[in-house]
């Protein structure tokens, strides 16, 4: 299934030259991901379509094409592009899935998922980040298949469960049982797992039809912690 194309950014007065530049930067970022081993063509196409600079603070936009995490305020970061691409690739999205994302953050990962899945449900606990992400995703990119919620991501989105895929972009010492319970049998969850002071392992969970889940660590990572209210 083809990758959806987001509408052009709705910035008023945006020049054609600036749009072409943004597309060139995104395309180069996708080529960089290919050189680093990302092989899913749909993921690469989505990376080429989403302008990462829309999701970082104004003063850091010249660094948006760098393959590294960047601060976005409130003690949070926008993930390294390779990690975004790698996590997305592990979910093997075909375009028909309902995806739950825990930790909207900047909204960049959300936008990538929105181009690859049928629906994306994303939960963010920090009000300022949730508001900024909504502006980028809905007002500027016009993504109509994204639903956003302000709240505790460790609780998931139970009234919309079950989900085909769940992506968690903040680290917990253990995978929250509430999230696994909201995963459809045969579905997949990917999350960084482990203590903050030791780093984490990106972990893939495949929910078994018989109640037995396959749990597989796949990559050392370091993420900000998954936090609850208060």
Query: Known catalytic residues?
Result: 79
Whether the bond between 162 and the residue before it is cis, its omega within 30 degrees of 0, is yes
Q: Which tokens in the block code for residue 17?
A: 């030259």
Tokens at 204, concatenated: 């893939």
Does residue 102 contact residue 153 with C-beta atoms inside 8 Å?
yes
Structure tokens at 86: 């790698």
**Using CA atoms, how far apart are residues 197 and 8, in angstroms rounded to an integer?**
41
Q: What CA–CA distances, in Å, run from 223 to 57, 86, 133, 143?
A: 19, 14, 19, 26
Question: DSSP for 91-143?
Answer: T---S--EEEEE--TTSHHHHHHHHHSSEEEEEES-HHHHHHHHIIIIIIS--
Please state, in angstroms and as integers, the Cα–Cα distance from residue 224 to each residue in 125, 179, 216, following that order: 13, 18, 21
Longest dimension (CA), the chain: 56
């Amino acid at each position: 299934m083809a990758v959806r194309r987001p509408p052009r950014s709705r910035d008023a007065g945006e020049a054609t030259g600036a749009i072409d530049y943004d597309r060139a930067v995104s395309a180069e970022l996708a080529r960089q991901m290919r050189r680093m081993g990302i092989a899913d063509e749909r993921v690469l196409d989505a990376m080429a379509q989403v302008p990462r600079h829309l999701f970082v603070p104004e003063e850091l936009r010249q660094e948006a094409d760098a393959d590294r995490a960047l601060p976005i305020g409130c003690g949070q970061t926008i993930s390294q592009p390779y990690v975004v691409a790698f996590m997305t690739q592990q979910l093997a999205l075909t375009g028909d899935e309902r995806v739950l994302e825990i930790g909207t953050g900047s909204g960049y990962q959300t936008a990538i998922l929105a181009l690859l899945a049928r629906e994306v449900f994303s939960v963010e606990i920090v009000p300022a980040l949730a508001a900024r992400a909504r502006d980028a995703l809905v007002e500027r990119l016009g993504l109509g298949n994204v639903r956003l919620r302000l709240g505790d991501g460790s609780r998931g989105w139970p009234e919309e469960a079950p989900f085909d895929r769940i992506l968690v972009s903040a680290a917990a010492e253990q995978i929250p049982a509430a999230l696994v319970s909201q995963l459809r049998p045969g579905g997949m969850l990917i999350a960084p797992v482990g203590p903050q002071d030791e780093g984490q392992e990106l972990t893939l969970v495949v929910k078994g039809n018989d109640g037995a889940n396959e749990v597989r660590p796949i990559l050392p990572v370091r993420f900000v912690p998954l936090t609850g209210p208060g």
